[in-house]
A and B are shown apart, each in its own frame.
Chain A
Amino acid sequence: MNKIVDKVFLSEKVVQMDIEAPDIARNRKPGHFVIVRVDKKGERIPLTIVKSDLEKGTIRLIVQEVGVTSGKLIDKEVGDYVLDVVGPLGKATDIKKVGTVLAAGGGVGIAPLLPIVEGFKKAGNRVITVLAARTKKLLILEKEMREFSDEVIIMTDDGSYGKKGLVTAGMEEVLKREKVDEAVVIGPAIMMKFAALLTKEYNVHTIASLNTIMVDGTGMCGACRVTVGGQTKFVCVDGPEFDAHLVDFDEMLKRLNAYKDYEVKAYEQFLKNRKKQTA
């Protein structure tokens, strides 16, 4: 049982939550995630740890409501409990001093990107960050990103903030004008696929943090398996970060849809119930 000690809406459907988890906070490094189960009948889902506070013994999670479980989590208030939180899981980001790092975050992918940007900056790199969202009100963590980036480029699909265009346009602007030593891309799978194709053209080593379906998160079921460089890897123990140029994104995109019909129906029912409760 982990208590929620702080909750902030970053946008209409994106919530930042601080949860009591002193052991996780102590051993957590950038790139690590937790598996969360909201209640006894709930699912287990992975969420990246955005930061940890050793003094308070808390970890910060950023959740976007996309279905039942994220919806249940967002509906929790400060003082409520999350039934199960386990971590820190996965391999920590391999942070090293390389020179210039191009970081690109799409939508809620910006949340897991923040600790990595912070890590690379603190390691002495020049960090150029491209943040992308569909529209201005969905853009999160701009202030925090500016704190750890030498430059921030903002892209929105509708042009309501920053430049109009996709994240790849912002990335290409940088790749064209200067030498980049390493790239990190986090966001929806389709975004990471195209971002990786772009950096491959410029021969820049790129890390992607994959967000597959997970159940246990400790390597015992294989639900999260992806093909990387022709080999099967488990995102929960071999990842979540991999060489983006070796990841079979098409296969990953297909696998993400494994329970699509069920998820849509369940979410519709959840929204109906929520309406009834708040009525």
Chain B
Amino acid sequence: MKDLAYYKKERSEAWRVELRKSMKAKERTSRPRVKMPELEPEERRHIFDKEVNIGLTVEMAISEAQRCLDCPDPTCVDGCPVNINIPKFIKKIEAKDFKGAIAVLKEYNTLPAVCGRVCPQEEQCESKCFYTVTLKKEPIAIGYLERFAADYERLSGDSAIPEVKESNGIKVAGIGSGPASLAWAADMAREGYDVTVFEALHEIGGVLKYGIPEYRLPNEIIDFEIENLKRMGVKFKTNFVIGKTKTIEQLREEGYKAFFIGTGAGLPRFMHIPGENSINILSANEFLTRVNLMGGAKEDYDTPIPEVKGKNVAVIGAGNTAMDAVRTSLRLGAKRAMIIYRRSRAEMPARKEEVKHAEEEGVEFIFQTNPVRYIADEQGRVKKVVVQKMQLGEPDASGRRRPIPIPGSEYEIDADIVIVAIGVSPNPLIPSIYPELKTNRWGAIVVNEDQQTSVEDIFAGGDITRGGSTVILAMGDGRRAAAGMHKYLKAKFPEKVK
């Protein structure tokens, strides 16, 4: 429950009052929602390294910010997993104080440039906007405005780093360098801790780097945020698998006092149907890692990818990862880039914007259809996927209608490449090495409301505690874990921690 009095107090500051007076509500609500300038579908379906969403101009951002009514009870805040003070940052934009806007964002959100791009706003803040709920109109483009503020600061070359308290000399270790750990690291560094983040891969950023393609989330944005963290004193060690290269016990011997596990949900799920181990059937993780992390699509990089040009590509699944895989296939020159999904359009978990972009680019959606087995040639290369039609019954545990196979509805779809994007599970490495860490039946590490595990000096957050989820939820966990860890360490070392 948010503290309404706090929001009311802020809202009554002179500059906010002036701003509200400067334009009548009627004029604000008469404007349509801003349209994000986008690269044309025909042009962008061949381009990897330019973002589809070009970004709002200053004029567009101010105009959109003016649409916001600065509600006395900002329900948008309730929709945000980290409760960003949304009206405040939007009103800063309206007042042309862009630096002020990013300062507000950074109080709550370590990676606003990332969230502005990848948050499912339509399920979060924007779904609770007064426009959506009461006016039945399109909501304020909160995500676009967040991105605008973050990009403005980055491109201005004048990026402020948050104030860092005097060092208290206490060493803490982050395991994994995805959004959960990055958010945790920022908060711990701010409190004066000696923070080191250990990453198994050779690049920092976790799923932000290996999973999300450049045309949606450019690597330079992630690297910019990582640079800021380094400026705050955070140390990063790559090619370091905690549990293998060094154990947690060895780190304790080196003086580390607490640990944050942010190792994610990188374990790919397969359907375990006949033929699934044929050549050119890959998990979405493998496909995207080859392309995004290993430069597989680039001529001068050594890592190969399956030959996509002119081929039929079938992506199984309809979440954001499936959209990333299918749109990447299109950009690689696929003749047909298909989404095969067992439920219908209404149940698709992907962000609405990803689906829209995918359709504009020419992705084919085949709904209420599920693979049964694969047919390969004599060399073991997949040639066809045998599918069956599904009908939708009563909702299952996820709340979505349950797919039920229709007998006798099998048919074949030509597929030279199949990408399995049906979900991921928590990375099993750390739980398997440390059985004392309590996990649930899906392998996720169990934590309390302070993100503390069953081992007192070990905290965890992000997908390792949730299964495949979102960047913003991971970051919220990371921040909560930092608060919990700080509380724990303060109690344990009262003479050291201020």
Which residues in A have some Cβ–Cβ distance to B below 8 Å?
23-24, 27, 37, 41-44, 68-69, 83-89, 215-216, 218-223, 225-227, 232, 237, 251, 254-255, 257-259, 262-263, 266
Does B380 lie within 8 Å of A87, measured CB to CB? Answer: no
| Interface status of B108 (Cβ within 8 A of chain A) | no
20 contacts between A and B (CB under 8 A): A24-B245, A27-B247, A27-B250, A37-B202, A41-B302, A43-B303, A44-B202, A84-B238, A86-B202, A87-B245, A218-B266, A219-B428, A220-B266, A220-B268, A221-B286, A222-B285, A223-B286, A257-B380, A259-B306, A263-B304
| Chain A contact residues, majority secondary structure | mixed
| Interface status of B66 (Cβ within 8 A of chain A) | no
**Residues of B260-310 whose CB lies within 8 A of A:** 266-268, 270, 272, 276-280, 282-283, 285-286, 289-290, 294-295, 298, 300-304, 306-307
7 A-B pairs closest in CB distance: A254-B380, A220-B266, A221-B286, A86-B239, A262-B304, A259-B304, A222-B283
**Residues of B305-327 whose CB lies within 8 A of A:** 306-307
Does B294 lie within 8 Å of A215, measured CB to CB? Answer: yes
Nearest-neighbor residue (CB-CB) of A38 within chain B: B302
Which residues in B have some Cβ–Cβ distance to A below 8 Å?
200-202, 238-241, 244-247, 250, 266-268, 270, 272, 276-280, 282-283, 285-286, 289-290, 294-295, 298, 300-304, 306-307, 379-380, 427-429
Nearest-neighbor residue (CB-CB) of A266 within chain B: B302
Nearest-neighbor residue (CB-CB) of B277 within chain A: A251
Does A237 lie within 8 Å of B429, measured CB to CB? Answer: yes
CB distance from A59 to the nearest CB of B (A): 12
| Contact A219 to B289, CB < 8 A, known contacts A23-B246, A257-B279 | no
CA distance A221 to B267 in the complex (A): 7
| Chain B contact residues, majority secondary structure | loop
Does B201 lie within 8 Å of A216, measured CB to CB? Answer: yes
Does A83 lie within 8 Å of B202, measured CB to CB? Answer: yes
| Contact A84 to B290, CB < 8 A, known contacts A24-B245, A221-B268, A221-B285 | no
CB distance from B379 to the nearest CB of A (A): 7
| Contact A89 to B302, CB < 8 A, known contacts A221-B286, A222-B270 | no
CA distance A251 to B277 in the complex (A): 8
**Which of A84, A222, A259 has most B Cβ within 10 Å?**
A222
- CB contact between A41 and one of B285, B301, B427 (< 8 Å): that residue: B301
CB distance from B215 to the nearest CB of A (A): 21
Nearest-neighbor residue (CB-CB) of A24 within chain B: B245
Nearest-neighbor residue (CB-CB) of B238 within chain A: A84
